[in-house]
């Protein structure tokens, strides 16, 4: 695994020039390693983490439990991939337990999410049932705490 990947895996939020500085590489070398990671699909891409409490474009999100019929060749894959392709679907996972797919759907209104579920998702051949859970409030998003008091950094300037 390349050095940039290890650094990314440590979870620090760094830009390319910071990564270059830390690893003792040139920015070009960091870019080259990132390109390799993307090519190998180890790194899928970058997205900003928006605050769902403040961002109107994410006004409504729902977690949907979906039961589907597995198929002889490929099991759940074909249907899961088909569902994943909708723009409304933020993420989609095959789950163990009482249902098969957990689908996170986002939309600008309750109505839009509801109609996506009833008209698109549940009408797909092979989808047996759906249970929709609307998200009411976010407390933590992708590792970021939301609207919680910041931790005090009360270190003295110089200590032994």
Partner 1 sequence: MSQAQNRFIADHVIGLPRSGIRDFFELVAAMKDVISLGIGEPDFTTPWHIREAAIYALEKGRTHYTSNLGLIELRREISAYVGRNFGLDYNPHNEVLVTVGVSEAMDVALRAVLNPGDKVLYQDPCFVSYHPTVLLAHGVGVAIKTEASSGFTLKADEVKKSWEPGCKVLLINLPCNPTGGVAERDELEEIAKFAVEKDMLVISDEIYAEMTFEGEHVSIGTFPGMRERTIFLHGFSKGWAMTGWRLGYACAPAYLTEAMMKVHQYSMMCASIVAQDAGIEALRNGDDAVKKMRQAYQRRRDLVVRRFNEIGLPCHKPNATFYAFPNITSTGLDSPTFSKRLLEEERVAMVPGTAFGKFGEGFVRCSFATGYDQIVEACNRIERFVNNLK
The footprint of partner 1 (CB under 8 A) covers 7, 10, 12, 14, 18, 21-22, 24, 151, 153, 155-160
Residue 13: CB minimum distance to partner 1, A: 10
- What are the two backbone dihedrals, phi and then psi, of residue 66, each rounded to the nearest 5 degrees? -120, 130
Residue 151: CB minimum distance to partner 1, A: 5
For partner 1, the closer CB: 85 or 155 = 155
Residue 40: CB minimum distance to partner 1, A: 23
Cα–Cα distance between 138 and 97 in angstroms, integer?
25
**All residues at 6 or more sequence positions from 56 whose CB lies less than 8 Å from its CB, including other chains:** 108
Q: HSE (CB half, 13 Å, CA atoms) of 61?
A: 19
For partner 1, the closer CB: 134 or 144 = 144
For partner 1, the closer CB: 19 or 103 = 19
Quickly list H helices, 10-149.
Answer: 16-23, 27-39, 77-84, 110-115
Residue 18: CB minimum distance to partner 1, A: 6
């Amino acid at each position: 695994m390349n050095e940039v990947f290890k650094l990314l895996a440590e979870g620090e939020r760094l830009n390319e020039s910071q990564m270059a500085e830390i690893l003792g590489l040139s920015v070009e070398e960091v870019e080259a390693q990132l390109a390799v990671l993307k090519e190998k699909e180890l790194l899928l891409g970058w997205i900003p983490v928006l605050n769902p409490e403040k961002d109107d474009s994410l006004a409504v999100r729902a977690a949907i439990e979906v039961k589907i019929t597995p198929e002889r060749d490929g099991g759940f894959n074909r249907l899961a991939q088909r569902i994943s392709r909708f723009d409304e679907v933020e993420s989609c996972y095959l789950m163990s337990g009482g249902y098969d797919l957990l689908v996170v759907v986002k939309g600008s209104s309750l109505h839009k999410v509801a109609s996506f579920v009833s008209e698109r998702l549940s009408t797909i051949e092979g989808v047996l049932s759906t249970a929709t859970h609307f998200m009411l409030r976010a407390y933590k998003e992708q590792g970021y705490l939301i609207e919680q008091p910041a931790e005090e950094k009360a270190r003295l300037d110089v200590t032994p």
